[in-house]
Amino acid sequence: MPNSNADKLLLELVACDRCKNAFMMNKGEKLRKQENNEELVCKNCIKLEERKKQLELGVINNLIESHKEIEVSILEVKDNIDISKSEFNKQHFLERIKKRSQALTKSIELLQKIVESNDEKYINDYKKLFEKLKEDLS
């Protein structure tokens, strides 16, 4: 009985196009995806992709915040120089700007790594690293 409804409800063992692990997929769904040239992706890979997207969004928000803070720091330095023309706060503010811009560079590097990486363990390492980065800055 090919193409019967009962046939389409059958589960079939297929290989994930990303991680190559075998998983069970509805036969009708598999045929539909193959007809549309869609990837056959297992649940783990779908979850991993969602987590990566959330993480990227978090990093981008952090970058925007850091950028705003750098702009504020630059304005503070400018005000201080204008008002006092002295050196006492300048070095402190310049150090702060330097630290933040280093953090920005590091964040972008980490973001690139996470986008290239397909390893779930790496995401956790990254989160820890980024939390530490935030602590260092506060």
Q: Which residues bind Zn ion (CB under 5 A)?
A: 16, 18-19, 42, 45
- Smaller CB separation from Zn ion, 19 or 133: 19
What type of residue is 52?
K
CB of 24 to Zn ion, least distance (A): 12
CB of 49 to Zn ion, least distance (A): 10
- Smaller CB separation from Zn ion, 87 or 116: 116
Instruction: Report how far residue 3's alpha carbon sits from residue 22's, in angstroms, rounded to the nearest whole number.
Output: 24
- Smaller CB separation from Zn ion, 46 or 108: 46
CB of 40 to Zn ion, least distance (A): 9
- Smaller CB separation from Zn ion, 42 or 110: 42
CB of 34 to Zn ion, least distance (A): 16
